Amino acid sequence: MDYYDRLLEDVKALIKDEKFIEARQLLDVELNMPYVPLQYEQEYQSLFTYCNQQLAGNAKSKTYDQEDIEALLFGSVDQASVACEILATSNVRQHLEMIEKYLSDKPNVLIRTLLIEILIDQNIHEEIKLDYDGLHVEFIAAYVEPIAERESTEVMVKILSDDFENDNPTFYKMCIDCLVKELYFRLPFSVVEEESRYLTTAITAYVYESLGDKDQFDAYIKEKDLAKYVGYDLKLKEYRV
């Protein structure tokens, strides 16, 4: 199974579990890539439209008040995902106190990421308290640069493209997929350009490791003379996702 089929399988599994916001997020990232094979692009676009329709339909099918949303958000992870779907299609400014309450006290990393993305999408200017893996910070979502618009993201995508896209496009796409997940898990923080090679090297190691191909990684490090960049910590490994 190649990269595109694996992504399709992951998206369909999320849709089957009615996790439409997560499925849409995966599809959105992929559809914004410079190249997607036509036969996959059409199906991805169809599923993306379906997710949007389901999210819109869910929002209209029931009226959720503050207590309903709060009960979902502070319930199981699946329930919290439903709360995020509702909040994504709502005026989130009406729920900032509840969101801050959740984010400021040991939030689940997946739900934390979804909530921060919603706050960024809706350009929230209020200061929000956040417990980020035990580090207590405050951030303003409107000042967090979207991942796709960052210069550091462009630099890292170019590094991976130069190293892998022509010779191993499937591996390249896997690296991009992992890079995007890593950057989302780091929200609201960003990666400075000086860290770019450290992070791409760690992403490459992570993908090679997932494929059980450490020898290939060692050969890559030797060929590119990247030994000094090895050892950068990934949230992907810390969270085991």
Q: Which DSSP string do the residues of 133-159 spell out, in sequence order?
A: TTEEEEEEGGGSPPGGG-HHHHHHHHH
Res 58 pLDDT > 70? no
- 57 versus 15: the higher-pLDDT residue is 15
Res 60 pLDDT > 60? no
Domain boundaries, the chain: 3-61, 66-143, 147-239
Mean pLDDT of the chain: 90
Tokens representing residue 194 in the block: 């000086």
Share of the chain above pLDDT 70, in %: 96
Mean pLDDT of 93-119: 96
Res 62 pLDDT > 90? no
What digits encode the pLDDT tens for the residues 21-52? Answer: 888 888 888 887 767 777 788 899 899 888 88
Mean pLDDT of 53-77: 80
Mean pLDDT of 187-214: 94
Name the residue type at position 147.
I
Res 150 pLDDT > 70? yes
Is 197:230 a contact under the CB 8 Å cutoff? no
Is 178:207 a contact under the CB 8 Å cutoff? yes
- 164 versus 32: the higher-pLDDT residue is 164
162 SS3 class: helix
Mean pLDDT of 134-163: 94
Confidence of residue 130 (pLDDT cuts 50, 70, 90): very high
Q: Omega before 37 cis (within 30°)?
A: no
How many whole angstroms separate alpha carbon 98 and alpha carbon 92? Answer: 10
Looking at residue 33, what is its pLDDT? 72
Confidence of residue 127 (pLDDT cuts 50, 70, 90): very high
Q: Which of 6-20, 88-102, 194-208 has the lowest mean pLDDT?
A: 6-20
Confidence of residue 105 (pLDDT cuts 50, 70, 90): very high
pTM beyond 0.85: the answer is no
Q: Provide the residue count of the chain.
A: 241
